[in-house]
Amino acid sequence: MNKVTILEDWCKGCGLCVRACPKAVLAISTTHLNKKGYYPAEVANPEACIACAACARTCPDTAIEIEK
Amino acid sequence: MTVVFKKTPVLRDVPLHYCPGCGHGIVHRMVSEVIEELGIQDKCAGVAPVGCAVFAYNYFDVDMYEAAHGRAPAVATGFKRVHPDHYIFTYQGDGDLASIGTAEIVHAAHRGEKITTIFINNAIYGMTGGQMAPTTLVGQKTTTSPLGRDKDHCGEPIRMAEMLATISGSAFIARCALNSTPNLIKTKAAIKKAFETQIARKGFSMVEILSPCPTNWGKSPAEAMDWIADAMIPYYPLGTFKEV
């Protein structure tokens, strides 16, 4: 299975990864703050990931790693 | 499992100070990846500008200079002439390159300096608080044009890529944008081409990148990306303007 990892404490919750993902794998947390005080992105739908790396390409904070 | 995407070691292991959704982080990563892919990390240096990217020297794991405002091409010229077998890039915003540093960039291109310039065009002065820049679009509201930029009073925004493409010393001039996955892939390819132009000693190379500034545009990061497509690209067409 493809695996997307969010480095939570690097994330600023900008949501560009959510916008870029063609399979709606990611979502911005609504309940949980990171160390910086942002609501970070989280993997809401891991099975749908196709490892296209669109999220990682657009992440301004290099907070996403992808394996397959 | 195989790694599909991981942060390049050319980008230091420190969090960036930029606002959420800022394009600088994306371009920092692309430049770092290109340096890694070309295998030139030990022979490469960069020049940071004045502006939001002033701390770029904390992020790239290559030797970095900090130039006076707008003077990055002059510093890069000095480096390249002393170290002709090394590689140098300047990383400049629109306030740095298209305003106070216009003379430096035009003459560096005109002399055909074998340097690479990464030009971030976000149509506004970011660090100083969102004032009107030479690249601000007609009608765009900023803190110093609260009714929108007036063409009769301030003129139309300056198109640097087209201007530098007319100069004989330039060898590769392109404009890209960060607003979609295809454009992100094209942007990185253009940055790589610009470095390859320098390695081949063909002349001056520059990539202008339309980049979002959600904070000073008063938009969400996603809205800012849409604004690049809706407002910026119609005035600043994408493409390669010169390639020799």
Which tokens in the block code for residue B30?
């692309």
Q: Is residue B130 part of a domain?
A: yes
Q: What is the reported pLDDT for A1?
A: 84
B65-92 pLDDT, tens digit per residue, is: 999 999 999 999 999 999 999 999 999 9
DSSP string of B185-200, one letter each residue: HHHHHHHHHHHHHHHT
**B53 pLDDT tier (thresholds 50, 70, 90):** very high
B187-211 pLDDT, tens digit per residue, is: 999 999 999 999 999 999 999 999 9
Contact of A59 with chain B, judged by CB distance below 8 Å, is answered with yes
Angle at A27 between CA A26 and CA A28, to 5 degrees: 135
Mean pLDDT of B218-229: 97
Q: Considering chain B, what is the average pLDDT of its residues?
A: 97
Contact A60 B5 (CB under 8 A): no
Q: What is the pTM of this model?
A: 0.96
Which CATH number fits the domain that encloses residue B233?
3.40.50.970
Q: Is residue B56 part of a domain?
A: yes
B108-160 pLDDT, tens digit per residue, is: 999 999 999 999 999 999 999 999 999 999 999 999 999 999 999 999 999 99
Identify the H or E element spanning B227: helix B221-227
Backbone angles phi, psi at B37, to 5 degrees: -65, -35
Interatomic CA distance for residues A39 and A42, integer angstroms = 9
**A24 pLDDT tier (thresholds 50, 70, 90):** very high
Mean pLDDT of B153-176: 97
Residue B28 has pLDDT above 90, yes or no: yes
Task: Note the CATH number of domain A3-67.
Answer: 3.30.70.20
Question: Which one-letter amino acid corresponds to residue B168?
Answer: S
CA distances from B20 to B1, B6, B26, B45, B113 (A): 31, 20, 11, 27, 35
Question: Which one-letter amino acid corresponds to residue B152?
Answer: D
CA distances from B94 to A47, B91, B234, B238 (A): 42, 10, 18, 17
Mean pLDDT of B219-226: 97
Question: Which one-letter amino acid corresponds to residue B239?
Answer: G
Task: Give the count of domains, chain B.
Answer: 1
List, as ranges, residues 16-55 from A with C-beta within 8 Å of B: 16, 19-20, 38, 51, 53-54
In chain A, domain spans? 3-67
Q: Is residue B116 part of a domain?
A: yes
Length of chain B as a residue count: 244
Backbone angles phi, psi at A58, to 5 degrees: -95, -10
Angle at A55 between CA B97 and CA B177, to 5 degrees: 30
List B207's β-bridge partners, or say none. Answer: B118, B174
**With contacts defined as CB-CB under 8 Å, which chain B residues touch A16?**
21, 221-222, 225
Q: Is residue B50 part of a domain?
A: yes
Residue B1 has pLDDT above 90, yes or no: no
Interatomic CA distance for residues B178 and B188, integer angstroms = 10
Query: Domain range holding B234?
Result: 23-243
Q: Over pLDDT 90: what percentage of chain B?
A: 100
Q: Is B72 within 8 Å of B49 (Cβ atoms)?
A: yes
**B173 pLDDT tier (thresholds 50, 70, 90):** very high
